Chain A
Amino acid sequence: MIKLLSANFMRLWKDKLFWIGMVFMFGLGIVIPISQYFDAKQYFFEHHFDETMMAFIFFIGFIAAVFCSNFIGTEYSDGTIRNKLIVGRRRTEIYLSSVITTAAAAVCMMAAYFLSYSVLGLILLLPPKMGIGKLLLMILIGITSMIALISVFHMVSMLVTKRSAAIIICVVLFLVLWMIAFSVYNRLSAPESIASYVIMSDSGEPVMQDMLNPKYLQPNERVWYQLVQDFLPTGQHVALTNPELMVHPVQMLVYSAVICILTTVLSIVFFQKKNLK
């Protein structure tokens, strides 16, 4: 396995898409604090370091979907996965080494963002409102949810042997997961009442009256919606950009681990039986 990791990391080092991702994330870590700084100057807002610290999360997910499916798909399209099997490398080793490599690539891209954001953010923005413990917890959740997402993309890419198909499926899957996460977020954040209904008072004046919001979740429904929010990696990503939604941080870490283990075990079982060409 160490040998396969060594080969994979050598390939990663030469992978153009990986370096494009690294440069993009590093650039994003520069652009976000600078734009926040000018925004604060222009409109006299107060922007704290932690407000936009996780604003990159959508971009890294999208990049990971493309990068992971392309990196794995190349093994199939160039046929190089055969070189590993022919010389007696086990399928489990091949699978695990490539999932570790792609996860490491995603973490490196995140690190590139954090590096530039931290340097510029600490100089240009106000100090973080939340404590260092919570900041680190958010970063940890960001990393684990990203690894969970990579595990899903990796599973798709290993089982769909056509590179172009794998890229399309991963990107569409990512967007669908984000749409689900957003609709769950909208329901969870819906207020109990809305002041949109207008009636006429005795004097004939229009009056705003609070009405019950039909989209407001009842406690039994809320439990399920919260579970989906906590479980989905993209749900966790939405929560990371709105820290008040991070009500179950420990569960989020556990769910990410569950996703990683489940997808890896399941796809290794399928990959073992797969007829390769």
Chain B
Amino acid sequence: MEYVLETQSLCKRYKQFTALSELDMHVPKGSIYGFVGRNGAGKTTLIRLICGLQVPTSGVYTLWGVKNNEKGITNMRRRMGAVVETPSIYLDMTAKENLQQQCRVLGLPDEKYIGDVLSLIGLSDTGKKKARNFSLGMRQRLGIGIALIGEPDFLVLDEPINGLDPQGIIEIRELILRLNREKQITVLISSHILDELSRLATHYGIIDGGRMVKEFSAEELERACRKCTRVEVTDTRILARVLDRMQLSYQIIDDRTADIYASPTVSVLSAALQKENCELYSVKERDESLESYYVSLVGEAKKAQ
């Protein structure tokens, strides 16, 4: 798999405080990577590092295979756009002037991009209104618009829906999906609003205490979160034989526990197991979401520590 961003044992310390610790991360090309973690987990620190705002204490990261300590990293950054924490916009300028500024920073002809970007972010009709008078959602969209100048291949968005109203959240979500699908832009989104993230992301990375707890794809999450029935039996080998005969998909958790991705009739299953001298102890319905998956992963990580 080709990765846009990879980190290897990335660390960042501020005096006594360790913000990132041996972080390994892989953002596949073309993905929408949901970077999940509670406040203070290290999401923004990682974003600051990859944007060149800060330097790692140790470890490396690569952008399109170029390491952060190599000369070519600045050229790779030109393929990036980012909104870190708050949108970086001149408040006493209009939306158009803000985009013109970024065009100049990148040495691009103004007119080529500005009209397209303004309509893409839905700010074409803001005229002479200064960014100071924009709503939070408009500012957020303008921030994304600035990040889009120069047609980046990789967009980094730090908490893009924080503080937005429901309409603003929908607009940002649709914009991100459009950019990913129509322009094939790889997107890294950090957020702790898991429900919203699960509507967008194709890949996830869960960070806690500056460490990567787990990386997984949306398919893996779907498998993990599929509606299932958790059963407890005396022997899961017998259960597996029975379920194979019943043509039901399942996953063995341990010697006594298994998840069945269906809702079998309990009496039928119990009778079938009984025939093979296997007792059915309990049956529970499970309906896992990204949120519960996150909680269980972080909980396991805490126990492991």
A positions within 8 Å CB-CB of B = 2-4, 6-7, 10-11, 14, 16, 74, 78-90, 273, 275-277
Write out the residue numbers on chain A whose beta carbons fall within 8 Å of the beta carbon of B104.
Answer: 3, 6-7, 10
Q: Which of B82, B88, B92 has the most CB of A within 10 A?
A: B88
List B79-118 residues whose CB lies under 8 Å from chain A. 80-82, 84-93, 97, 100-102, 104-107
Chain B interfacial residues counted at CB < 8 A: 37
B1 at the A interface (CB under 8 A): no
Are A74 and B48 in contact, with the CB atoms below 8 A? no
Are A88 and B74 in contact, with the CB atoms below 8 A? yes
B304 at the A interface (CB under 8 A): no
Are B51 and A85 in contact, with the CB atoms below 8 A? yes
Are A74 and B90 in contact, with the CB atoms below 8 A? yes
A-B contact pairs, 10 of them (CB 8 A): A3-B106, A14-B93, A78-B89, A84-B105, A85-B53, A86-B52, A87-B81, A87-B105, A88-B52, A273-B55
**Of the candidates A14, A88, A276, which one forms a contact with B78 in the assembled complex, judged by CB atoms under 8 Å apart?**
A88
B290 at the A interface (CB under 8 A): no
Give complex CA distance A81, B84 in Å: 11
Write out the residue numbers on chain B whose beta carbons fall within 8 Å of the beta carbon of A273.
Answer: 55
**Of the candidates B54, B78, B105, which one forms a contact with A83 in the assembled complex, judged by CB atoms under 8 Å apart?**
B105
B positions within 8 Å CB-CB of A = 14, 48, 51-55, 73-78, 80-82, 84-93, 97, 100-102, 104-107, 146-147, 150
B12 to chain A: closest residue by CB:
A275
Write out the residue numbers on chain A whose beta carbons fall within 8 Å of the beta carbon of B54.
Answer: 275-276
Write out the residue numbers on chain A whose beta carbons fall within 8 Å of the beta carbon of B81.
Answer: 86-87
Q: Which of B74, B76, B104, B106 has the most CB of A within 10 A?
A: B104
Q: Which of B52, B55, B78 has the most CB of A within 10 A?
A: B52
A74-B90, A86-B52 are known; give 13 further A-B pairs, CB within 8 A.
Answer: A14-B92, A14-B93, A80-B101, A83-B105, A85-B52, A86-B53, A86-B77, A86-B84, A88-B76, A88-B78, A273-B55, A277-B53, A277-B84
Q: Which of B81, B87, B101, B107 has the most CB of A within 10 A?
A: B101
Are B88 and A88 in contact, with the CB atoms below 8 A? no
B82 to chain A: closest residue by CB:
A86
Are A83 and B102 in contact, with the CB atoms below 8 A? yes
* List of 10 A-B pairs having minimum Cβ-Cβ separation, nearest first: A88-B77, A7-B104, A79-B88, A88-B74, A3-B107, A276-B53, A88-B78, A275-B54, A86-B51, A86-B82
**Of the candidates A2, A16, A276, which one forms a contact with B48 in the assembled complex, judged by CB atoms under 8 Å apart?**
A276
Give complex CA distance A88, B68 in Å: 12
Are B53 and A87 in contact, with the CB atoms below 8 A? no
Give complex CA distance A270, B93 in Å: 30
Write out the residue numbers on chain B whose beta carbons fall within 8 Å of the beta carbon of A7.
Answer: 101-102, 104-105
Give the tally of cross-chain contacts (CB within 8 A).
92
**Of the candidates B48, B51, B97, B106, which one forms a contact with A14 in the assembled complex, judged by CB atoms under 8 Å apart?**
B97
Give complex CA distance A30, B90 in Å: 34
CB distance from B44 to the nearest CB of A (A): 9
Give complex CA distance A119, B220 in Å: 78
Are B101 and A87 in contact, with the CB atoms below 8 A? no
CB distance from A14 to the nearest CB of B (A): 7
Write out the residue numbers on chain A whose beta carbons fall within 8 Å of the beta carbon of B92.
Answer: 14, 16
Are A80 and B150 in contact, with the CB atoms below 8 A? no
- Tell whether A78 pairs with B90 under 8 Å between CB atoms, given A10-B104, A83-B146: yes
Give complex CA distance A185, B73 in Å: 53
Give complex CA distance A89, B52 in Å: 10
B131 to chain A: closest residue by CB:
A78
Write out the residue numbers on chain A whose beta carbons fall within 8 Å of the beta carbon of B77.
Answer: 86-88
**Of the candidates B90, B91, B97, B150, which one forms a contact with A87 in the assembled complex, judged by CB atoms under 8 Å apart?**
B150
- Tell whether A3 pairs with B105 under 8 Å between CB atoms, given A82-B84, A87-B78, A88-B76: yes
Write out the residue numbers on chain A whose beta carbons fall within 8 Å of the beta carbon of B88.
Answer: 78-83
Write out the residue numbers on chain A whose beta carbons fall within 8 Å of the beta carbon of B78.
Answer: 87-88
**Of the candidates B48, B75, B97, which one forms a contact with A88 in the assembled complex, judged by CB atoms under 8 Å apart?**
B75
Write out the residue numbers on chain B whose beta carbons fall within 8 Å of the beta carbon of A14.
Answer: 92-93, 97
Give complex CA distance A6, B93 in Å: 16
Give complex CA distance A87, B103 in Å: 11
A15 to chain B: closest residue by CB:
B92
**Of the candidates B75, B76, B91, which one forms a contact with A78 in the assembled complex, judged by CB atoms under 8 Å apart?**
B91
B47 to chain A: closest residue by CB:
A86
Give complex CA distance A90, B105 in Å: 12
Are B80 and A90 in contact, with the CB atoms below 8 A? no
Write out the residue numbers on chain B whose beta carbons fall within 8 Å of the beta carbon of A4.
Answer: 105
Are A11 and B90 in contact, with the CB atoms below 8 A? yes
A6 to chain B: closest residue by CB:
B104
CB distance from B85 to the nearest CB of A (A): 7
Give complex CA distance A90, B71 in Å: 11
Give complex CA distance A80, B91 in Å: 10
Write out the residue numbers on chain B whose beta carbons fall within 8 Å of the beta carbon of A3.
Answer: 104-107
CB distance from B80 to the nearest CB of A (A): 6
Are A277 and B105 in contact, with the CB atoms below 8 A? no
